[in-house]
Amino acid sequence: MKGRDSLLRRVVVVFSRAVSLLGLFVMGLMVLHIAVDVVARFFLGRQLPATIAFVANYYMVAVTFLPLVVAERERKHIEVEVLAQRLPQRMQSVLRLATWALSVAVFSLLGWESAIEAARAYEVRMFMIEQSVRIETWISYFMLPIGFFSAAGVSLARMSIAVLRLPAGLNRAVDVAQDYFSERAGHD
């Protein structure tokens, strides 16, 4: 079991790192694109065609949705624990498991619906025209299901790790699963 665990951890960490690097690359490309557009406007009196369309339809979509897997892996989503922190540890562990199950359900539902919309956009080859330039927008629709399904996969993996470790005790199983994909945590 330990070999499969470490393989799962490596796959999730490597995939989320790759997505993180892709996000950084896209963000850098967006900054460069906007900077060149601003310089061209200021010095040449001309703007790059379709800058706004690329920013809105590609760069911002990629930077927003692809890194969901990183946020889920590192547990960086917003959590409010006003009541939960006052509950007994066992109940907190049960709530954590329920939260992971709910995350799997919500991310999967969002992924499914966005995949249907992406398929629809692909079928009609959705595009827009800005400044007489045709921009294929259907491609960016696929970033949403990739981000949602990736985050669902991390939540499902985390929940599965906890369930498989239940014989060691609920609290211990949830503690291990909670920090399992963190790059700083030790694993057993």
Task: List the chain pLDDT tens, one digit each, 188 residues.
Answer: 556 668 888 898 899 999 889 989 999 999 999 999 999 999 999 988 889 999 999 999 999 998 999 999 988 887 777 887 888 999 999 999 999 999 999 999 999 999 999 999 999 999 998 888 898 999 999 999 999 999 999 999 999 999 999 999 999 999 999 889 876 654 44
What per-residue confidence (pLDDT) applies to 4?
A: 62
Which of helix, strand or coil describes residue 131?
A: coil
Is 152 part of a structural domain of the chain? yes
Which of helix, strand or coil describes residue 128?
A: strand
The contacts found for 107-114 with CB under 8 angstroms, 24 or more apart, are 107/68, 107/72, 107/148, 107/149, 107/151, 107/152, 107/155, 108/148, 108/149, 108/152, 110/144, 110/148, 111/144, 111/145, 111/147, 111/148, 111/149, 111/152, 112/145, 114/141, 114/144, 114/145, 114/148
Is 78 part of a structural domain of the chain? yes
**Domain range spanning residue 53?**
2-178
Is 30 part of a structural domain of the chain? yes
What per-residue confidence (pLDDT) applies to 45?
A: 92
Question: What one-letter code names the amino acid at 70?
Answer: V
What per-residue confidence (pLDDT) applies to 151?
A: 95
Distance (Å, whole) CA 93 – CA 86: 12
Residue 148 CA: distances (Å) to CA of 31, 65, 115, 153: 25, 7, 10, 9
Is 184 part of a structural domain of the chain? no
Q: What is the pTM of this model?
A: 0.86
* Phi, psi of 75, rounded to the nearest 5 degrees: 55, 50
Is 52 part of a structural domain of the chain? yes
What per-residue confidence (pLDDT) applies to 57?
A: 92
Is 63 part of a structural domain of the chain? yes
Number of domains in the chain: 1
Is 85 part of a structural domain of the chain? yes
- Cβ burial, residue 165 (10 Å; 0-12/13-18/19+): buried
Is 188 part of a structural domain of the chain? no
Distance (Å, whole) CA 87 – CA 100: 18
